[in-house]
């Protein structure tokens, strides 16, 4: 038979018999149709055994037909595209689909670990807390690895996910969650009223239960009605219909998370995260059926009655040859009718109720035997259900041969999303389940709100949609509710749970049985939240959808508390499991975070630049020349070139803030530790900022361009934090000061030109456009000038310790300016240098940087105590005087060099006295920055040493056990090259 | 010596046109930050009106005059678009005037596709009713700060201001998302 | 969580950074006695309910805001510019 | 009944009918020597060590909900002692040692699993900072290894080494780091404490602290007034408002931190891993779920749930470090309330109110501290003196400047 041997000859609301599809399961090639789910295609192919349970590795078949599925978890795809633990009931079948079962070895039919089931008495709930403690070392070596290997369901690929992902933001008046009758009506009502509506449905077809039931609406089959409603919605410009769209979470301020999957064969992202902000939502997620708890209720072939109806009506797939029904509600009987109508064989109907109405009895197919007040003592069969042992109200016991049992135990509304934000549920006696309450932010419609029947669903959906539209300002006339056939809603009846010797499963996926619950209660875990954590009930991929209410009933039964005083464990996002990659979107690999590139980037890339991350920026570390053996050779060359000739380095990444206004000098005096109001116009001053807590925040320069105009610089790493801090000072602390702040980091491309020939370079390049003679333009001068039509600024500042300048031009001509500079530089025998050479030179000069200004150091620690002005107050001044910050014995900045000049050491080494035994007490500080100094021919370092200032000349160990080093070093002043700074002033 | 080097370099790579979407870089536009001095917003408004013939927008809006447009980017803060910084000298008594022409890359996006594309990207409502012509938003696209301006209603037209150093990352995102 | 920035309009909270609880009067960081400075910087009422905090709209208008918010429900009652607030 | 393989087997054979409640669900008595407010890991551990180490007889743990509902039941279970600051190194290493013998001490398998913790780094500066930390650990007698890229690759071949925005340059490894079955810690301490006579009183929320003449004399609870010679507050994320009942204003903010767990898969990630270029850390539970998290949401909150931006940020970090987890699905995402402090470090101290003691301010890292916090807080409650290992966790340290700021963020709780 096309589409599988168990495929019915006709019917099937969503399958397309004209579109056959081939797929594989555990290597078997199978047929199905477009519009099938993987689960329905397996049913159509007569496959009942689809997986193994988590703990006992029991053979399992499909329990459900939708998101509630606990058993039918398969592995999809191959290689890096593998997707483990996928609910077969939610997989849209497509040509070439590769699927396989999991958690079994060597095969699904024969699984070695099924022995676990034999040991199940030992493996009762919580057994592992009581054992595996001796001998102590065996836990990590033996027990735990064994547990870890047998736990877990599927296997991850271990390879990078090849999929593409994307994100979308969307806004609407009304978000309707779920496209069953309630959701469709809500969307129609709100859409017709003119509201902006988004309808999100996780299935690939709209209709919900309408697709699975043989209802009539407006005189047509319910699935035809839903297709018509879908067409109307698709045609409305103010309505967006999202199919394959799982709403997974409700977040603050009307934000919802939705993962929309691509249709099979669709190009573009595999999944897209929609962040939907809505004025209000309609929750119309339906209800799911409850299984019945009895011994052996997990045999493959035992299903929910609603699932059987889905397979039969929606997919025209018959799940068994001899079907029995076990029901606590009227659904069982309806299911029998549907099976019979499809030509299936119903052998028996078992109703737990002692009496049923004659109308109901009349529904039973003629051949079906009826048992009232019935219970099942055992489900039988190994890899598939073969028979059940039944007793009825009169004690009549019988074994009935059956290969499919449909269970109908009442309904559980899917109200999870209503409590993501802390909403509450209330017990409905009518349906025997807790239901969520509507709020203006989220109206509950249909079965999700306990309005189980079709008529109620349609009406409550329309009402919710209208109310939501109205709340968004779209008034509309009441909507006509279509006439429909309807369900008989059975008032819920409690049923004592089966006390059977056989395992009676409550949580199928996690193998939690009724007995486990009783045991947990005995051990004191008698409330649902404790029960969950002790037994793992409800902690599987289905989050206990089919288990939670049965568990509560059993708990109530065992403890004697009314179940209505118990609440199911809390629901949390995601409502449906969502891929990590979908949450991450396109932000991965190289594009994990955007890159900031300075204007010189292309030049650097073309000239051997090797790049490194500096905060968000990419900066050249060095420029390799052909023939250079390693990076150190390159860096040594760059340093030596700068120290002897000239080099150019892009320093645009430093943060720059333009500050102006009548009060700017007063303001900067408060922000910096040193005086800025005394900086003459045309001069630059080095400055230090403290945090309010008195530790150093950042250092940089302040250049006074005019009486009321400064431009200040920050370090690359701290640019954002300093901007935020200065804005805080301006807006919150002293709004009365008239100061404007404009970040100009991106406006100015800025290049350092350093080395004894830097003036020559500028002279060659700028000629008489600006007088840069030492007299006219001394150290720390700043001047704006016209560089051939470009507004430029020249600063005489130096990080390298050489005669040096920084030139700034608008970044839009930054690339051209860099080329000009490099042209002139190369002509003088100079070179471009990168961050590594920059670092070497600043260590040679003893300038502090990020490794020293690490948020834990004071100005005095850094040797900058003198920069704390005594003449004025400034941010951080008071708290910097706290005893521990002002203590004299704090580690202070020193220079270090190896006693044996050929020796080496590294940043992060600690200082220990020679001969000292390593201990916290003996620890005297640490090395912060280390470099090989080509100028001196040996390693040099900066570090913080206890009482450092008083210990020059001492020898101490740089102890670095994590690198296996221990080097004797000498404490020297923290300036190795030109300590007097003579070169700056030439 | 002027070898044309004053000509600003583009910040973005080229964007081939897509159906319903044209993306072009606007190179060389003058962009100036104007910040009213404390208590001088009214005075600034008056000067702008007399000197430039434009009413400064309130809030995050764009108002365009003959040669200059103002875009609100914060309380008392605007980007003045179109005239070089020198032309804004009359404002200097009552405002800080800071040239930012080098700081930004500017894209114009036009067509129905622009609305869709940007609507996906920014977490603000771009519906006509909420973000009609003249609307401005400073916000983020994929970790990159942008100022988005709706310049025309039909066909939908936008300008996107992004600081230069991020332009290529933003371009990568655009290329990916435009498909 | 979305915050109605008085300048920019409603924005997702991730466009902002948060400094924490705001005092009733303008914070004073210079010229205050040590004990007061320590308390002002560190102590928090941190009530399980409505409170007022400093938020910075770094990815928008770069304004410091005072946001009135409930710590239990995350409900945002309103936001004002901090600069004119004290 | 003692727990052992033997008792388990015997009970299995007899249908598990004879197990007793793990702890007594006690009714409140009118008076105790010590009342501990908060039935989390710390409160229960404190009760246990008070009874065990100090022989205190009449002890009650008063819990507003059910024991273990707080952070002890919702943390990402990481234990480590890889700290930089000497005060922390000493304290957390002591805690690690207690973990290492905890099963035997409690007769409860809390599944202390020392499968290592690896902090990945991405730059030379980060390497030096980690080396500094690793050396500090080694100097203090704690295990630490510095791995290079290949060392990381050997352990975790599926990290993104080749294509990353922030390439992996190596990692700091603490082999003794790992995870512990979090709920079991609460239950194990509860059981052991209960066996020593401690009353564990659930569903009793402390709503007031009675202070007379500057001395705390009783707590008012929703189940009545309970007097006590000494009262210990150990309520984690709720420290501020419980302390407010005694008129105290503390340097603490409550924040939300989220955690995530995926569907269970076969063993993939052996130890604990933290990403150095974003906010992401991960381990795999014995059940097979990948348990991961990242930064706090950043704003004050008692809601115990987070929002999407941080969830996205965490997932981005995860995909940047290990794109092999892309198709694994998040099963559940929850939040907890943590009390953040200005320097990121905790308080175990007397309060200005006599007889009222405080254990709090654990930020997002107090689970690993549970045994040591219980031990040292018990010492403080029993003797009135700080335990030497917790002596640095003083309430006045922001006044003295003796801050314990591991990452140098300064006095802003949400940056730690
Ligand atoms: C998501 C998350 C991840 C974390 N990850 C880690 C990690 O990997 N490693 C780590 O070391 N730490 C981690 N932590 C932190 C750690 O969980 C906490 O620091 C620690 O558990 C706090 O101590 P506790 O166990 O006593 O707290 P809790 O378990 O929260 O105990 C406090 C108890 O006090 C009760 N209480 C509160 N108010 C009252 C009242 N008025 N009356 C009576 N009782 C009251 C509460 O109900 C609660 O049970 C994490 C925390 C979270 C939320
Ligand atoms: N006989 C009875 O007592 C009884 C009981 C229960 C249900 N029903 C029938 O069930 C139907 C109830 O209608 P309804 O509209 O309330 O429910 P429904 O089950 O028909 O529709 C719910 C829809 O929501 C979708 N959905 C669920 N969670 C989602 C999520 N997170 N994201 C996106 N989509 C999601 C589902 O896929 C489904 O299509 C009626 O047809 C009624 O006849 C009858
Ligand atoms: C280490 C760890 C592992 C967890 N594993 C699971 C799991 O496998 N399945 C599950 O549903 N929840 C799991 N949880 C989450 C809990 O179900 C629960 O969300 C958490 O304890 C917080 O409680 P709450 O959600 O009830 O507030 C886990 C929690 C932790 C801390
Ligand atoms: Zn704003």
* A796, part of any domain: yes
Nearest CA to ligand 3 atom 12: A539
pLDDT tier, A120 (very low <50, low <70, confident <90, very high otherwise): confident
* DSSP-assigned states of every residue in B20-76: TBEEEE--S--EEEEEEPTT-HHHHHHHHHHHHS-PPPSSSBEEE-SS-EEEEEETT
> Mean pLDDT across the stretch A265-274?
95
B74 plus B115 within the same structural domain: no
C-alpha to C-alpha distance for A32 and A20, rounded to whole angstroms: 6
A430 vs A270, residue with greater confidence: A270
Cβ neighbours for A90, distance < 8 A, ≥ 6 positions apart: A37, A66, A67, A69, A202
Q: Does residue A632 surpass a pLDDT of 60?
A: yes
Same-domain check for residues A418 and A399: no
Q: Are residues A260 and A193 in the same domain?
A: yes
DSSP H or E run through D371: helix D370-383
Listed by number, the residues of chain A in 249-308 with a beta carbon closer than 8 Å to a beta carbon of chain C are 251-255, 277
Q: Are strands A831-832 and A647-650 parallel, antiparallel or unpaired?
A: parallel
Find the length of chain A: 986
User: A432 with A543, same domain?
Assistant: no
Do B109 and B95 reside in the same domain of the chain? Answer: no
**Chain D CB within 8 Å of residue A249 CB:** yes
Residues B68 and B80 in one domain: yes
Cβ count within 10 A of residue A362: 8
Give the residue, out of D37, D63, D75, with the most ligand 1 atoms within 8 A of its beta carbon, to mutate for a pocket test.
D75
Report d(CA D118, CA D273) in Å as an integer: 5
Residues A298 and A403 in one domain: yes
pLDDT digits (tens, 9 = 90+) for D276-317: 999 999 999 999 999 999 999 999 999 999 999 999 999 999
> Is A977 a domain residue?
yes
Buried b / exposed e over D23-37, threshold 16 CB at 10 Å, is bbbbebeeebebbbb
Whether residue B166 is contained in a domain is answered as yes
pLDDT exceeds cutoff 60 at B1: no
Whether A222 and A484 have beta carbons less than 8 Å apart is answered as yes
Mean pLDDT, rounded, for A340-346: 97
Question: Is A495's pLDDT higher than 80?
Answer: no
Q: DSSP secondary-structure letter at C83? A: G
Task: Give me the domain span that covers residue B94.
Answer: 31-99
At A574-610, the pLDDT tens digits run: 999 999 999 999 999 999 999 999 999 999 999 999 9
Residue A313: name the closest of A339, A276, A282 by CA. Answer: A339
Both A895 and A980 in a single domain? yes
Which element (helix H / strand E) includes D260? strand D253-262
Domain-ending residue, one of B75, B99, B123: B99
Ligand 4 centre from C51 Cα, in Å?
20
Nearest to A89 by CA among A71, A104, A103: A71
Q: What is the CATH number of the domain that holds B83?
A: 3.30.70.1520
Contact partners, residue A143, CB within 8 Å, separation at least 6: A132
Chains within contact range of chain C (3+ C-beta pairs < 8 Å)? A, B, D
- Are A631 and A758 contained in the same domain? yes
Of all residues in chain A, the percent with pLDDT exceeding 90 is 92
For D35, the enclosing helix (H) or strand (E) is: strand D31-37
- Which residues face A99 on adjacent strands? A25, A76
The tokens describing A184, both together, are: 């469709």
User: Best residue in C3, C5, C8, C14 to probe B by mutation, most B CBs within 10 Å?
Assistant: C8
Measure the CA–CA gap between A246 and D115, rounded to whole angstroms. Answer: 36
pLDDT (mean) for D252-277: 97
Is residue A673 domain-shared with residue A793, that is, in the same domain? no
Final residue before a domain boundary, out of A675, A708, A743: A743
In this prediction, residues B144-167 reach a mean pLDDT of 97
Confidence of residue A477 (pLDDT cuts 50, 70, 90): confident
Six token digits for residue A859 = 């100005």
One domain for residues B149 and B117:
yes
The per-residue pLDDT for range A874-886, each reduced to its tens digit, is 999 999 999 999 9
Residue A80, Cβ neighbours under 10 Å: how many?
A: 16
Residue environment code for A309-345, b if the CB has 16+ CB neighbours within 10 A, otherwise e: bbbbbbbbbbbbebbbbbbbbbbbbbbbebbbebebb
Average pLDDT of the segment spanning D147-152: 98
What is the pLDDT averaged over residues A914-932? 97
In terms of CA atoms, which chain C residue is nearest residue A730?
A: C83
Task: At D77, give phi and psi (nearest 5°).
Answer: 70, 15
Out of A110-114, A635-639, A897-901, D63-67, pick the least confident.
Answer: A110-114
Residue B81 sits in the same domain as residue B117: no
Any residues with CB less than 8 A from the CB of A357 and at least 6 apart, and which? none
Do B112 and B73 share a structural domain? no
First and final C-alpha spacing in chain B: 45
B16 located within any domain: no
Reported as a pLDDT band with limits 50, 70 and 90, residue A476 is confident
Report pLDDT for A1.
63
**Same structural domain, B85 and B48:** yes
DSSP letter string over A457-510?
HHHHHHHHHHHHHHHTT------PPPPB----PPPP---PPP--SS-BEEETTT
Whether A497 shows a pLDDT value over 80: the answer reads no
* 3-class DSSP state of D94: helix
The tens digit of pLDDT for each residue in A528-555 reads 999 999 999 999 999 999 999 999 999 9
Bridge partners of residue D336, in order along the sequence: D257
For residue A863, give every residue at least 6 positions away whose Cβ sits within 8 Å of its Cβ, in sequence order, or none: A846, A848, A892, A893, A949, A974
CATH of the domain at B128: 3.30.1360.120
Q: At A376, which helix (H) or strand (E)?
A: strand A375-380
Strands A97-100 and A16-25: parallel
Q: Which of A735, A875, A876 sits opposite C83 (nearest CB)?
A: A735
The reported pLDDT for the residue numbered A14 is: 94
The alpha-carbon gap from A513 to the nearest alpha carbon of chain B, in Å, equals 47
Subunit contact D250:C43, Cβ cutoff 8 A:
yes
Q: Give me the CATH number covering residue A462.
A: 3.50.50.60
* pLDDT value of residue A916: 97
Residue A186 placed within a domain: yes
Side-chain-side CA neighbours of A687 within 13 Å: the count stands at: 30
Pair A640, A769 in one domain: yes
Q: Indicate the helix (H) or strand (E) that contains D45.
A: helix D41-54
Q: Which residues contact C29 (CB under 8 A, 6 or more apart)?
A: A692, A733, A875, A876, A878, C37, C40, C41
In a domain, B14, yes or no: no
Q: Which of B73, B99, B125 is the last residue of a domain?
A: B99
Residues A385 and A429 in one domain: no
Place of tokens 């004119």: C84
Q: Is C71 on the interface with A (CB under 8 A)?
A: no
Residues B93 and B110 grouped into a single domain = no
Average pLDDT over residues A354-370: 93
Q: Rounded to a whole number, what is the distance in angstroms from the first to the last CA of chain D?
A: 44
Q: Tell me the residues of chain A between 601 and 630 that have a Cβ less than 8 Å away from chain D.
A: 612-613
Does the pLDDT value for residue A150 go beyond 90? no
The answer to whether the beta carbons of residues A50 and A101 sit under 8 Å apart is: yes
Number of structural domains (chain A) is 7
Query: How many domains does chain B divide into?
Result: 2
Residues B51 and B73 in one domain: yes
Alpha-carbon distance of D218 to D227, in angstroms, equals: 4
- Statement to judge: residues B74 and B113 lie in one domain: no
In a domain, B47, yes or no: yes
Examine residue A106 and say whether the peptide bond preceding it is cis (omega within 30 degrees of 0): yes
Supply the CATH number for residue A120's domain.
3.10.20.440
Q: Using the beta-carbon criterion (under 8 Å), do C15 and B139 form an inter-chain contact?
A: yes
Kindly state the percentage of chain D with pLDDT values over 70. 100
Kindly tell me if the per-residue pLDDT of B179 is higher than 90.
no
Is A859 a member of any domain?
no
SS3 assignment, position D349:
strand
CATH number at residue A978: 2.40.30.110
Structure-model confidence comparison of residues D210 and A488, the more confident one: D210
Per DSSP, what are the bridge partners of residue A686? A701
Give every CB contact of residue A395 below 8 A, 6+ residues apart in sequence: none
For residue B164, is it within any domain?
A: yes
Question: Which atom of ligand 3 is the closest one to the Cα of D305?
Answer: 27
Task: Give the DSSP H/E element, type plus range, for residue A583.
Answer: helix A580-584
Q: Are residues B63 and B106 in the same domain?
A: no
* Sheet strands (E) in A9-50: 16-25, 28-34
Rounded to an integer, the average pLDDT of A739-764 is 98
ipTM tops the 0.90 cut: yes
Q: What is the DSSP letter of A159?
A: S
What radius of gyration, in Å, describes the C-alpha atoms of chain C? 13
Contact C49, C70 (CB under 8 A): yes
Burial of A495 (0-12, 13-18, 19+ CB in 10 A): middle
Q: Domain for residue A240, yes or no? A: yes
Residue where one domain finishes, among candidates B99, B122, B151 = B99
**Helical segments of A277-375, H only:** 305-309, 331-341, 358-363
A92 and A28 in a common domain: yes
Among A727, A733, A876, select the one facing C27 at the smallest CB separation: A733
Q: For residues A835 and A600, what is the distance between their CA atoms, to the nearest angstrom?
A: 14
Residue A713 resides in a domain:
yes
Ligand 3 is surrounded, with C-beta below 6 A, by: A 539, 543, 570, 572; D 73-75, 77, 182, 261, 285, 287, 289, 291, 331-332, 334
Nearest to A392 by CA among A348, A352, A336, A332: A352
- Tokens 């039918």 correspond to A72
Provide the domain limits for residue A52.
Answer: 16-127
pLDDT tens for C38-52 read: 999 999 999 999 999
pLDDT digits (tens, 9 = 90+) for A398-423: 999 999 999 999 999 999 999 999 98
A303 lies in some domain: yes
Do A644 and A663 lie in a common domain?
no
Residue D290, beta-bridge partner list: D284
Q: How far apart are CA A283 and CA A450, in angstroms?
A: 12
Give the pLDDT confidence of D110-129 residue by residue, as tens digits. 999 999 999 999 999 999 99
Q: What is the pLDDT of residues A161-207, one digit of tens each?
A: 999 999 999 999 999 999 999 999 999 999 999 999 999 999 999 99
DSSP code string of D121-179 = E-SHHHHHHHHHHHHHHHHTT---EEEEHHHHHHH-TTS--SS-SS---EEEEETT-EE
- Going from the Cα of A541 to the center of ligand 3, the distance in angstroms, rounded, reads 12
E strands, A530-600, in order = 578-579
- Judge: C46–D414 Cβ closer than 8 Å, yes or no: no
Cβ atoms of residues A853 and D125 within 8 Å? no
Nearest Cα to B149, choosing from B51, B69, B36?
Answer: B69
Shortest CA distance from B59: residue in chain C: C7
Reduced to 3 states, what is the DSSP secondary structure of residue B78?
A: strand
Domains, chain C, ordered by start: 2-81 (3.30.2270.10)
Least confident of A3-7, A46-50, A130-134, A931-935: A130-134
C20 touches chain D (CB under 8 A): yes
CATH of the domain at A763: 3.30.1360.120
Are residues A170 and A244 located together in one domain of the fold?
yes
Q: Considering the domain boundaries, does residue A337 fall inside one?
A: yes
Q: What is the mean pLDDT of residues A93-105?
A: 94
Please answer yes or no on whether D408 and A536 come within 8 Å at the CB atom: no
- E strands, A148-270, are 165-177, 197-200, 216-217, 220-221, 239-242, 245-251, 255-261
Cβ pair C44:D240 closer than 8 A: yes
**Beta-sheet strands, E only, within A811-937:** 831-832, 891-898, 910-912, 925-933
What's the whole-model pTM score? 0.97
Q: What mean pLDDT do residues A653-664 have?
A: 98
D364 lines ligand 1 (CB under 6 A): yes
- Decide if B1 is inside a domain: no
Question: Mean pLDDT in chain A?
Answer: 96
Q: Binning pLDDT at 50, 70 and 90, where does residue B3 land?
A: low
């Amino acid at each position: 038979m096309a589409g599988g041997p168990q495929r019915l000859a006709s019917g099937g609301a969503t399958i397309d018999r004209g579109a056959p599809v081939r797929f594989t399961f555990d290597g078997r090639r199978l047929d199905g149709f477009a519009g099938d789910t993987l689960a329905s295609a397996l049913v159509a192919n007569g496959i009942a055994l689809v997986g193994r349970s988590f703990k006992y590795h029991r053979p399992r078949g499909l329990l459900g037909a939708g998101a509630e599925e606990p058993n039918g978890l398969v592995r999809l795809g191959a290689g890096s595209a593998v997707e483990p633990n996928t609910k077969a009931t939610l997989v849209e079948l497509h040509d070439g689909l590769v699927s396989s079962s999991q958690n079994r070895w060597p095969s699904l039919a024969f699984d070695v670990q099924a022995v676990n089931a034999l040991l199940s008495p030992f493996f009762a709930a919580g057994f592992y807390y009581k054992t595996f403690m001796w001998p102590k070392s065996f836990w990590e070596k033996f027990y735990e690895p064994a547990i870890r290997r047998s736990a877990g369901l599927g296997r991850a690929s271990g390879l990078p996910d090849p999929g593409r992902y994307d994100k979308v933001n969307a806004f609407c008046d009304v978000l309707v969650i779920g496209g069953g009758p309630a959701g469709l009506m809500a969307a129609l009502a709100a859409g017709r009223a003119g509201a902006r509506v988004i309808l999100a449905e996780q299935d690939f077809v709209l209709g919900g239960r309408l697709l699975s039931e043989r209802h009539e609406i407006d005189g047509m089959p319910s699935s035809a009605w839903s297709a018509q409603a879908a067409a109307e919605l698709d045609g409305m410009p103010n309505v967006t219909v999202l199919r394959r769209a799982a709403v997974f979470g409700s977040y603050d301020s009307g934000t919802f998370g939705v993962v929309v999957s691509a249709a099979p064969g669709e190009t573009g992202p595999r999944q897209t995260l929609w962040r939907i902000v809505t004025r209000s939502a309609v929750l119309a997620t339906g209800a799911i059926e409850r299984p019945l708890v009895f011994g052996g209720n997990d045999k493959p072939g035992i299903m929910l009655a609603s699932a059987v109806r889905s397979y039969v009506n929606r997919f025209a797939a018959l799940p068994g040859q001899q079907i029995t029904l076990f029901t606590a509600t009227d659904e069982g009987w309806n299911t029998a009718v549907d099976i019979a109508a499809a030509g299936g064989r119903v052998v028996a109907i078992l109703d737990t109720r002692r009496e049923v109405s004659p109308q109901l009895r009349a529904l039973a197919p003629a051949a079906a035997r009826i048992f009232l007040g019935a219970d099942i003592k055992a489900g039988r069969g190994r890899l598939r259900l073969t028979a059940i042992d039944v007793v009825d109200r009169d004690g009549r016991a019988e074994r009935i041969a059956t290969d499919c049992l449909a269970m109908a135990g009442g309904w559980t509304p899917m109200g999870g999303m209503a409590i993501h934000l802390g909403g509450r549920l209330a017990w409905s006696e009518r349906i025997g389940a807790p239901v969520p309450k509507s709020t203006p932010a989220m109206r509950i419609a249909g079965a999700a709100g306990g309005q189980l029947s079709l008529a109620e669903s349609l009406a409550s959906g329309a009402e919710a949609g209208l109310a939501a539209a109205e709340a968004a300002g779209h008034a509309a006339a009441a909507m006509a509710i279509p006439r429909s056939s309807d369900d008989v809603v059975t008032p819920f009846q409690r049923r004592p749970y089966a006390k059977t010797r056989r395992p009676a499963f409550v949580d199928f996926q996690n193998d939690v049985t009724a007995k486990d619950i009783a045991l947990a209660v005995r051990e004191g875990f008698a409330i649902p939240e404790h029960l969950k954590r002790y037994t793992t009930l409800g902690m599987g991929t289905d989050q206990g959808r089919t288990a939670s209410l049965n568990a509560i009933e059993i708990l109530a039964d065992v403890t004697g508390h009314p179940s209505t005083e118990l609440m199911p464990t809390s629901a949390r996002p995601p409502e449906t499991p969502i891929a990590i990659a979908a949450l991450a979107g396109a932000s991965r690999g190289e594009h994990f975070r955007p890159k900031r590139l300075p204007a010189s980037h292309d030049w650097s890339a073309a000239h051997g630049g090797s790049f490194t991350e500096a905060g968000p920026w990419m900066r050249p570390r060095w420029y390799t020349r052909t023939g250079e053996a390693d990076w150190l050779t390159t860096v040594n060359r760059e340093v030596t070139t700068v120290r002897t000739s000239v080099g150019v380095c892009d320093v645009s990444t430093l943060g720059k803030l333009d500050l102006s206004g009548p009060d700017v000098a007063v303001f900067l005096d408060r922000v910096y530790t040193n005086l800025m109001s005394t900086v003459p116009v045309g001069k630059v001053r080095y400055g230090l900022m403290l945090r309010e807590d008195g530790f150093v925040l950042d250092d940089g320069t302040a250049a006074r361009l005019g009486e009321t105009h400064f431009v200040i610089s920050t370090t690359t790493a701290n640019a954002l934090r300093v901007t935020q801090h200065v804005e805080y000072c301006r807006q919150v602390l002293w709004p009365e000061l008239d100061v404007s702040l404009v970040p100009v980091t991106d406006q100015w491309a800025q290049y350092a030109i350093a080395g004894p020939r830097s003036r020559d370079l500028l002279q060659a390049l700028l000629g008489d456009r600006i007088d840069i003679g030492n007299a006219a333009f001394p150290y720390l001068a700043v001047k704006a000038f016209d560089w051939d039509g470009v507004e430029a600024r020249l600063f005489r500042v130096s990080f390298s310790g050489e005669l040096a300048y920084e030139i700034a031009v608008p970044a839009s001509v930054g690339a051209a300016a860099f080329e000009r500079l490099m042209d002139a530089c190369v002509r003088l025998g100079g070179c471009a240098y990168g961050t590594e050479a920059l670092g070497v030179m600043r260590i040679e000069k003893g300038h502090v940087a990020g490794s020293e200004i690490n948020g834990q150091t004071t100005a005095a620690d850094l040797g900058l105590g003198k920069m704390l002005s005594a003449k004025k107050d400034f941010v951080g001044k008071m708290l910097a005087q706290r005893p521990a910050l002002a203590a004299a014995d704090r580690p202070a900045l020193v220079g270090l060099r190896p006693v044996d000049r050929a020796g080496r050491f590294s940043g992060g080494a600690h200082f220990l006295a020679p001969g000292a035994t390593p201990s916290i007490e003996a620890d005297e500080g640490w090395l912060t920055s280390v470099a090989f100094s080509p100028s001196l021919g040996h390693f040099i370092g900066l570090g913080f040493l206890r009482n450092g200032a008083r210990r020059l000349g001492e020898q101490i160990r740089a102890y670095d056990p994590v690198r296996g080093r221990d080097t004797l070093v000498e404490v020297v002043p923290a300036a190795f090259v030109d300590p007097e700074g003579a070169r700056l002033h030439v | 010596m002027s070898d044309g080097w004053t000509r600003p370099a583009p910040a973005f790579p080229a964007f081939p046109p897509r159906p319903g979407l044209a993306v072009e870089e606007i190179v060389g536009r003058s962009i100036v930050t104007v910040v009213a001095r404390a208590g001088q917003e009214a005075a600034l408004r008056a000067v702008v009106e007399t000197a430039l013939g434009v009413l400064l927008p309130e809030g995050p809006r764009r108002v365009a005059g003959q040669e200059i447009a103002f875009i609100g980017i914060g309380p008392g803060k605007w980007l003045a678009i179109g005239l070089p910084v020198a032309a804004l000298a009359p404002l200097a008594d009552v405002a800080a005037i800071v040239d930012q022409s080098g700081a930004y890359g500017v894209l114009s996006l036009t067509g129905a596709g622009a609305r869709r594309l940007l609507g996906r990207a920014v977490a603000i409502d771009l519906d006509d009713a909420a973000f009609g012509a003249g609307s401005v938003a400073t916000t983020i696209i994929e970790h990159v700060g942008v100022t988005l301006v709706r310049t025309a209603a039909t066909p939908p037209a936008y300008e996107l201001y992004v600081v230069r150093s991020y332009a290529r990352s933003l371009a990568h995102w655009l290329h990916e998302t435009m498909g | 969580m979305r915050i109605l920035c008085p300048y920019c309009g409603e924005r997702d909270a991730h466009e902002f950074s948060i400094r924490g609880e705001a005092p009733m009067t303008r914070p004073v960081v210079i010229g205050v006695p040590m004990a007061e400075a320590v308390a002002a910087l560190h102590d928090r009422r941190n009530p399980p309910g409505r409170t007022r905090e400093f938020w910075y709209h770094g990815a928008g208008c770069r304004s410091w805001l005072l946001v009135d918010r409930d710590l239990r429900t995350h409900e945002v009652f309103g936001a004002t510019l901090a600069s004119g607030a004290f | 009944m003692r727990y052992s393989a033997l008792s388990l087997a015997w009970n299995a054979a007899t249908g598990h009918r004879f197990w007793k409640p793990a702890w007594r669900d006690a009714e409140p008595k009118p008076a105790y020597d010590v009342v501990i407010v908060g039935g989390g890991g710390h409160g229960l551990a404190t009760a246990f060590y008070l009874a065990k180490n100090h022989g205190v007889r009449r002890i009650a743990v008063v819990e507003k909900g059910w024991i273990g509902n707080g952070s002890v039941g919702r943390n990402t279970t990481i234990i480590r002692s890889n700290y930089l600051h000497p005060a922390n190194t000493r304290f957390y290493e002591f805690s690690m040692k207690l973990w290492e013998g905890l099963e035997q001490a409690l007769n409860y398998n809390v599944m202390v699993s020392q499968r290592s913790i690896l902090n990945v780094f991405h730059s030379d500066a980060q390497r030096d900072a980690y080396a500094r930390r690793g050396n500090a650990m080694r100097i203090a007698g704690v295990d630490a290894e510095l791995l290079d890229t290949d060392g990381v690759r050997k352990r975790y071949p599926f990290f993104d080494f080749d294509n990353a925005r922030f390439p992996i340059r190596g990692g700091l490894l603490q082999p003794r780091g790992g995870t512990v079955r979090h709920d079991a810690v609460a239950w194990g301490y509860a059981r052991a404490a209960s066996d020593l006579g401690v009353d564990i009183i659930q569903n009793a929320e402390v709503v007031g602290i009675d202070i007379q003449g500057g001395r705390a004399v009783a707590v008012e609870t929703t189940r009545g007034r309970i007097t006590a010679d000494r009262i210990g507050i150990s309520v984690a994320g709720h420290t501020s408002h419980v302390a407010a009942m005694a008129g105290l204003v503390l340097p603490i903010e409550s924040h939300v931190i989220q955690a995530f767990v995926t569907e269970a898969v076969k063993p993939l990630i052996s130890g604990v891993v933290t990403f150095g270029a974003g906010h992401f850390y991960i381990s795999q539970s014995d059940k097979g779920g990948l348990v991961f998290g990242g930064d706090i949401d950043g704003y004050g909150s008692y809601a115990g749930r987070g929002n999407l931006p941080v969830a996205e940020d965490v997932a981005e970090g995860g995909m940047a470090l290990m794109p092999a987890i892309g198709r694994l699905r998040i099963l559940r995402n929850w939040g907890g309330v943590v009390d953040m402090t200005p320097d990121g470090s905790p308080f175990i101290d007397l309060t200005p109110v006599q007889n009222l003691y405080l254990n709090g301010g654990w930020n997002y890292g107090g689970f690993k501290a549970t045994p040591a916090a219980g031990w040292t807080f018990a010492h403080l409650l029993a003797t009135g003196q700080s335990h030497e290992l917790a002596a640095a966790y003083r309430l006045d340290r922001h006044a003295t400047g003796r801050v314990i700021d591991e990452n140098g963020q300064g006095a802003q709780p949400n940056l730690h």
